[in-house]
């Protein structure tokens, strides 16, 4: 009977020590920074990073969280200017007028002359100088100056 009490007492001590160690451990915590300034530390996984991504954060300690705002500074895609049309409007989704739009034809454009004729917060236009008899497909990249 006394040996059972000894085992129970040892098990209880072990549980208390284990809980104390787990509670004081900071394994799995993520530090959040905004322009090099530490804003918070929370548990979780940092999966957002890379060129062309702008991340800002605000520490919301009262709710034990960090509020993140993620913005892209560049977008890419493909657009097709349909035969016998002189322009195509391309939606870029940046939320601001891009400073730079790069356009590259991906099929035979047979000497057609094109240019970007307008840029705004949602779209830009690829315009041909004259009507062309076949579809022309373009790869594009819109971005703010980096």
Model confidence pLDDT, tens digit, residues 7-44 = 787 778 877 777 666 665 555 566 667 766 777 766 65
Q: Is-above-0.85 flag for pTM?
A: no
Strand-pair category, 100-105 with 136-143:
antiparallel
Maximum distance among all alpha carbons in the chain? Answer: 99
Strand-pair category, 65-72 with 53-60:
antiparallel
- Give me the domains of the chain, ranges plus CATH numbers: 2-72 (no CATH), 74-143 (2.60.40.10)
Q: Is 44 left (phi over 0), alpha (psi -120 to 50) or beta?
A: left
Q: Are 89 and 125 in contact (CB under 8 A)?
A: yes
Q: Are 98 and 92 in contact (CB under 8 A)?
A: yes
């Amino acid at each position: 009977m006394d040996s059972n009490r000894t085992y129970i007492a040892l098990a209880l001590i072990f549980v208390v020590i284990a809980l104390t160690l787990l509670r004081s451990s900071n394994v799995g915590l993520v530090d959040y920074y905004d322009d090099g300034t530490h804003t918070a530390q929370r548990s979780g996984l940092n999966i957002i990073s890379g060129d062309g991504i702008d991340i800002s954060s605000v520490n919301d300690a009262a709710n034990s969280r960090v509020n993140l705002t993620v913005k892209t500074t560049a977008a890419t895609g493909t657009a097709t200017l349909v035969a016998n049309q002189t322009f195509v409007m391309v939606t870029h989704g940046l939320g601001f007028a891009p400073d730079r739009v790069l356009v590259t034809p991906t099929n035979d454009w047979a000497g057609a002359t094109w240019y970007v004729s307008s840029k705004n917060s949602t779209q830009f236009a690829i315009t041909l100088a004259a009507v062309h008899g076949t579809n022309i497909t373009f790869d594009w990249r819109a971005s703010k100056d980096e």
